[in-house]
Structure 1
Amino acid sequence: MTTRPTQLDAAHFDAKARQWDDNPVFQERGLKIAQAIRQAVALNKRMSALDYGCGTGLLSFPLKDELGPILMADSSGGMLEVVAGKIAAQGVANMTPMKLDLLADPAPTQQFDLIVTSMTLHHVPDTDAILRIFHDLLNPGGTLCIADLDQEDGSFHGPEVDVHHGFDRADLGRRAAATGFADVRFQTVFSIAKARETGTRDYPVFLMTARRAGA
């Protein structure tokens, strides 16, 4: 599953970074996904985590007191500036921002017990490649948590934005299993309502959890 890279992504998110946390939908979505992860994964402070496509940290900040070190990775410098400011303002000791595009940059040298990513996968050009990278970055027995859109007709972003139009759960589950993940599970955790010409439309957001086989 591939599509052309969206070259404007970083600049787009840089421009929106300072106002990102003002959106109550983004806030609520982060909290709902965080709660679903809590219920699906036995979190503890010995766990190292990677939040890939972390944005302003709306997913990881609610989880920070339940985890060990968290690498906050994003390709948007503007988003990471906001993260760094929040880390400093709150005196957070276990979060580290890093500018990172796993399809272009060298992968981190460390491995993780948990990888979380929210509303990022549909912006990644090569789904199979990023799943392989996630698998390699996890410790044996580690868990991958992906929150993203169910497959839609392209109206969520509009035709001018070149991204995946969400994901078919069965297809994504097969791809994860082919990569080596086990215990692949899906649940609906949120729904985004958007006004369209034909009326308000809901776009469901799923959480996929999967485990790297091993310990």
Structure 2
Amino acid sequence: MGNTDKFEMIANTYDTPERIQIAKVSSDAIREYLVDAKGKTAIDFGSGTGLLGMNLLGDFHSVLFLDTSPNMINQIKQKISEFNIQNADTLCFDFEKEDLSDLRVDYIFMAQVLLHIADYELVLSRLYDVLNEGGHLLIVDFDKNENVASDLVHNGFQQDELTGKMTKIGYGNIQSKTFYTGSKIFMGQDASMFILDAQK
């Protein structure tokens, strides 16, 4: 997945106060969209060190932390071991390179992951296949930001454009809204974040 090399290098120092705070507001936003999730399974997609998924462990029956960076996955394994977490597992895997035909879950959530994926429509299509019928994909990411210029990431997304692309893939009942604005949170720029909920 996009920028794996960069994340490999920063895995040990990834959990900064700023990232912990963003993960908290993101998980709070996701929680508003969960319905009877206590008995459901979930994937924290592009999990990094698991900041988002760790906040949501109590909301699901189980969470699979999935990332392309072995070092990030090792950070999560340490947390699972240290806190004796029973309902979590890890998987190092790259959806940009292949798909997982035998994996099925009820919820997939991701925060600030889509902007790192060059061909994100392909990945969204593969994630659609992983969802159980009626399952939900929850995306937290940055609104389109003209002040951000980078070869490494998309400069955010227009919610209606993303909704259109996801509808073509087959997602339905799509709803989205901007829920957070922060100072210097996107490549050193002030930015806003949206949450999008889509159903299979």
Residue aligning to 1:14: 8
CA distance in 1, matches of 2:49, 2:193: 19
2:49 pairs with one of 56, 69, 78: 56
Matches within 5 A, 1:113-152: 113-152=106-145
Letter in 2 for 1:186: S
1:68 aligns to 2:65 (yes or no): no
Which of 192, 195, 200 does residue 207 from structure 1 map onto? 195
Question: 1:44: Cα distance to partner?
Answer: 2.5
Partner of residue 182, structure 1:
172
1:50-100 deviation digits (Å, cap 9, x = unpaired) = 111000111111110120121111011111111110111111111111111
Q: Letter of the aligned partner of 1:17 in structure 2?
A: A
TM-score computed with the length of structure 1 as normaliser: 0.86
Measured in 1, the distance between the counterparts of 2:112 and 2:134 equals: 24
Extract unaligned runs of 5+ from structure 1: none
Q: 1:195 to 1:133 in 2, by over 3 A?
A: closer
Contact 2:147/2:189 (CA < 8 Å) preserved in 1?
no
Q: What amino acid maps onto 1:207 in structure 2?
A: I
Deviation at 1:117, TM superposition (A): 0.8
Q: 1:42-121 counterparts in 2 under 5 A?
A: 42-107=35-100, 109-121=102-114
Q: Show structure 2 runs of 5+ residues with no match.
A: none
Asked which structure has the greater CA Rg, the reply is: 1
Instruction: Number of aligned residue pairs: give it.
Output: 199
Secondary structure, aligned partner of 1:42: coil
Question: Highest relative contact order (Cα 8 Å, sep 6+), 1 or 2?
Answer: 1
1:7-53 superposed Cα distances (whole Å, 9 cap, x missing partner): xx1121111111111x1121111111111111112143210111110
1:163 aligns with 2:153: yes
Contact kept? 1:143, 1:211, Cα under 8 Å: yes
Residues in 2 aligned to 1:195 and 1:127: alpha-carbon distance in whole angstroms: 22
| SS of match in other structure, 1:62 | helix
Over 3 Å counting, the alpha-carbon distance change for 1:202 and 1:105 in structure 2 is same
Distance, in Å, in 2 between the alignment partners of 1:96 and 1:130 is 21
TM-score normalised to the size of structure 2? 0.92
Identity of aligned residues (%): 26
